[in-house]
Structure 1
Amino acid sequence: MTDAGTLTRADLAEALHKQIGLSRADSARVVEQILAKMCEALSHGENVKISGFGTFVLRDKGERIGRNPKTGVEVPIAPRRVLTFRASQMMRDRIMAAD
């Protein structure tokens, strides 16, 4: 992992290289293809579920009234689509066991 405990694309590609034996170029290409497929599915409105890891879900949020915390003035917030992630129970258990 890189600085500050952040896992990057390069880290994933390096793990593929070391654990599976793919060349570094092929490992990077596989990581990019997986991420591209996930982005493509999400951009078409599909959810992405990775068993044992979690689910990326698109949600439509309606228009609502927000408030400027500094001035207290009410401001309309436009409707938008947001991406959320819900970790699987297996992932949650692994995270809790790591503490």
Structure 2
Amino acid sequence: MRKADLVNQISEKTGIPKVDVLVTLETMFKEVKDTLAGGENIYIRGFGSFITKKRAAKIGRNIKKNIAVHIPEHYIPAFKPAKEFVAEVKKLKEPKPDEGPGDDGV
């Protein structure tokens, strides 16, 4: 499912115009990004948590040049689903195939 599909479904189910749903979703995404970039986590009861995880500093390798590269510690965004969310997904018997762009069904 793409963002446009999500906007269409929400609009159909709620009766809210697609433009308003799109603006609301874009605002939500921006707030999630800004909040995580500010070092705060977001907790949504029954859905899950948007959190930042700290990755420790490490030594990586550039295999093309055969040299060691220092990778400093950094933070990455992550999502931790709530127990109710996980339980709902576990009820699913077989996942639907993802029909994203560039997917030729191979």
* Structure 1, unaligned runs of 5 or more: 1-6
User: Aligned partners of 1:69 and 1:96: how far apart in 2?
Assistant: 40
User: Aligned partners of 2:20 and 2:49: how far apart in 1?
Assistant: 26
Of 31, 37, 41, which residue of structure 2 is paired with 1:37?
31
Q: Flag the structure with more relative contact order, 1 or 2, with Cα contacts below 8 A and sequence separation at least 6.
A: 2
User: Aligned partners of 2:34 and 2:2: how far apart in 1?
Assistant: 20
Q: Which string of whole-angstrom CA distances, capped at 9 and with x for unpartnered residues, describes residues 26-64 of structure 1? A: 111111111111111111111122221111111222212
Q: For residue 36 of structure 2, what is the amino acid of its counterpart?
A: L
Q: What TM-score does the superposition give when structure 2 sets the normalisation length?
A: 0.73
Residue 67 of structure 1: CA displacement? 5.0
Single out whichever of 28-37 and 61-70 deviates more from structure 2: 61-70
**Percent identity among equivalent residues?**
25
Is 1:63 matched with 2:57? Answer: yes
* Structure 2, unaligned runs of 5 or more: 94-106
Asked whether the equivalents of residues 65 and 76 of structure 1 are also in contact (C-alpha less than 8 Å), the reply is: yes
* Paired residues, number: 93
Q: What TM-score does the superposition give when structure 1 sets the normalisation length?
A: 0.77
Please give the residue correspondences for 1:1-99 in structure 2 after superposition, counting only pairs within 5 Å.
7-66=1-60, 74-99=68-93
Higher fraction of helix: 1
User: Aligned partners of 1:88 and 1:82: how far apart in 2?
Assistant: 19
